[in-house]
Structure 1
């Protein structure tokens, strides 16, 4: 039996790892020309890099999410704590200077991976057969047939191809699935509504980075952490890497439509003005800045994601119903019952989807088609 995994982020890669360990053949299909999905560790130009800054998720919490800690350990990856030594700044009004408060050690500790979260993606991919991974192919249609499930793939140059599978794991956000994939037969209306109503983690947000020669704020006894009710950055952190490349980053508090209206250059300047108010004149002179707006990424966000920033919540009930429930499984982080919207949620959702898939195979409830083209 061939299992097709759609989505090459953490959930899809972990599902592939589990299937590979169970000697179940699989194909992993990823629309981007890179693996990782919302995990993107990049250089200062925003390109994927082996010792990069995390434009997507940065942290994990071993005490809260032991499964994530176990995977990091099993893959032999190095982790280090988020820098939180020093005072914290709070900006309550543009007319008053920021308030400085004694710092505190966060518990549980926020941990980061040396080299960026992208090291996790590379380590997982390295353990998989290369010929089972296909980049630059977006699934646009999924059809249930007597022999299995037929997927229609659109390549980066617009051509289409078909793929036949016995089981399909959609390792994508439910809202993105609803917006980008057609189903035959159609998904039941109540199930589609549940998918559409599930917030996509990171999709409404943008992260702004300012890169410096050195972390000068530490000399002043500052942690690099700040909170602001003025903006445009609502929450700021030290993004300096384990190798010492210095940066501050912040979550932009301006909604997606407002960011688009201001424009990248205008938003960058207002962010630098704010960093200077908080951390002094040196903060206004970075070597370069970078804005990653996930709401503008069509392989992450839909129009629904521009209108809110809610974190996904655990949901009761099945994610797949009707004619599809023996062939199709959802594995995006948002579908986790224990940690939706976290890296650990992606692992949990992948494990659940693979367990369901293997269970169907063992019970012999589905046909076992050969892999083929349209």
Structure 2
């Protein structure tokens, strides 16, 4: 009999495990993959050359992530953010500095209005119960896309807002409830934080890649993590749960679910979970994003006064690009995000064709110096069986008001974690860690009492 079984060895599950380990409470972790990290996945190409195929940034107010870096002596460094950014709009490329690109005055005023309206509405949302807002039903009945279409009066404004918000949510805007968007913005402090590098959610990267942190977290109890253990069924008999899958079955008193909602929905529960829990899991879909990396022997664009950042309308497969070179600049790396429908189209092509498409864009942006990369790699969590997408689960219209916070609610002795169960930094690694620690603390308190 195991005291606790944690399902999922991503940041949330390992954060929970770490807390239980420190409290000397017996547990095991069941992980369907053969690796740690979940939606964090660092691939080491060679020394000083690594690519974060999953989550990679931390920023202000993500206190748990910075505390973990300090605890394990893991370094972090600022994302390169100097020089000119590029806006690829209406098949014309223009350079600009700062957060707001150059555009006609009407579109600029409109852009300011739309972003400030989103900020103002988000501030009025309660993180504890977003469905209690006086206009919750109204906000939850329309998509973020509908809000943008109504409030953007020029096509230029709409294109810029679309690419910015698609990058934030990793989804088509018509897939996201406006109420969920407002909650998400408030959960991550504000829209400016979510969009920005300077003082924003993309401020710092981890030396050696994000997976460095979770490897250090898990090291003391690595033998308690069982890989290639995909849970298929959870059966409750009196106060005991039987957790089983192919060729294994374990009994436990308590369970922490730390996997993405669509994966939790695939597990057979006997007796069944509450109808609210089942229905909300059936509605939550994962965001869709591809990360595409072009690696060079050095970040040559910096010498020409470019930041490496580029933002593009629907004529490009990439909503946004960033300089993700390692701290010492041993290599130059441009990361392109392809999101939603653009990602779905992009990944129907062969890898060789995908490389050619990105290379063509980089030559257009940064000149002939971009013609000779060392390598190209890309990855999408959408095609990974045990993630189904990234960054997080998306609430469509009607979900918050229809089911409130039923996803995060404990049922019996099954505790729900994962970034989707966090009220603070929902959708980010910080939220995953917080929810895992919260679930573990509730179990610790329950055992002590």
User: Would you say the 8 A contact 1:53–1:241 is kept in 2?
Assistant: no
Q: Does 1:101 align with 2:102?
A: no
Q: CA deviation at 1:129?
A: 2.2
Q: CA deviation at 1:44?
A: 4.3
Higher helix share goes to which structure? 2
Q: CA deviation at 1:117?
A: 0.5
Q: Does 1:247 align with 2:244?
A: no
Q: Does 1:130 align with 2:222?
A: yes
2:207 is aligned to 114
- Could you say if the C-alpha distance between residues 334 and 199 of structure 1 is closer, same or farther in structure 2, counting changes exceeding 3 Å? farther
1:233 is aligned to 318
User: Would you say the 8 A contact 2:232–2:267 is kept in 1?
Assistant: yes
Q: CA deviation at 1:347?
A: 1.2
With structure 2 as the length reference, what TM-score do the two structures score?
0.71
User: What are the residue-to-residue correspondences of 1:1-374 with 2, within 5 Å?
Assistant: 2-44=3-45, 52-61=50-59, 63-94=60-91, 96=92, 98-103=93-98, 106-108=198-200, 110-126=203-219, 128-154=220-246, 160-178=247-265, 180-200=266-286, 203-229=287-313, 230-243=315-328, 244-253=330-339, 255=341, 256-301=343-388, 310=394, 316-319=404-407, 325-363=411-449
Partner Cα distance (1:88, 1:34) in 2: 36
Q: Which is bigger in relative contact order (C-alpha 8 A, separation at least 6)? A: 2
Unmatched tracts of structure 2, length 5 or more: 100-196
Partner Cα distance (2:70, 2:63) in 1: 10
Deviation per CA, 1:259-279, whole angstroms, max 9, x where unpaired? Answer: 343333322221211111111
Partner Cα distance (1:283, 1:44) in 2: 20
Q: Give the number of aligned pairs.
A: 343
User: Would you say the 8 A contact 1:240–1:247 is kept in 2?
Assistant: yes
User: Would you say the 8 A contact 1:170–1:332 is kept in 2?
Assistant: yes
Partner Cα distance (1:72, 1:116) in 2: 12
Partner Cα distance (1:207, 1:129) in 2: 31
Q: CA deviation at 1:291?
A: 1.0
Per the alignment, in what secondary structure is the counterpart of residue 355 of structure 1?
A: helix
User: Would you say the 8 A contact 2:6–2:27 is kept in 1?
Assistant: yes
Task: Between 229-238 and 353-362, report the one with greater CA deviation.
Answer: 353-362
Partner Cα distance (1:269, 1:210) in 2: 11
Deviation per CA, 1:21-69, whole angstroms, max 9, x where unpaired? Answer: 1110110111111111111111349xxx8862211111111x2212221
Q: CA deviation at 1:254?
A: 5.7
With structure 1 as the length reference, what TM-score do the two structures score?
0.85
User: Would you say the 8 A contact 2:284–2:395 is kept in 1?
Assistant: no
Deviation per CA, 1:46-100, whole angstroms, max 9, x where unpaired? Answer: xxx8862211111111x22122212221221111111101110110022x3x101
Partner Cα distance (2:350, 2:273) in 1: 38
Deviation per CA, 1:189-231, whole angstroms, max 9, x where unpaired? Answer: 221121233343xx51110000111111011011111101121
Partner Cα distance (2:25, 2:204) in 1: 33
1:372 is aligned to none
Partner Cα distance (2:84, 2:394) in 1: 29
Q: CA deviation at 1:238?
A: 0.4
Q: CA deviation at 1:173?
A: 1.3
Q: CA deviation at 1:356?
A: 2.0
Q: CA RMSD in A?
A: 2.6
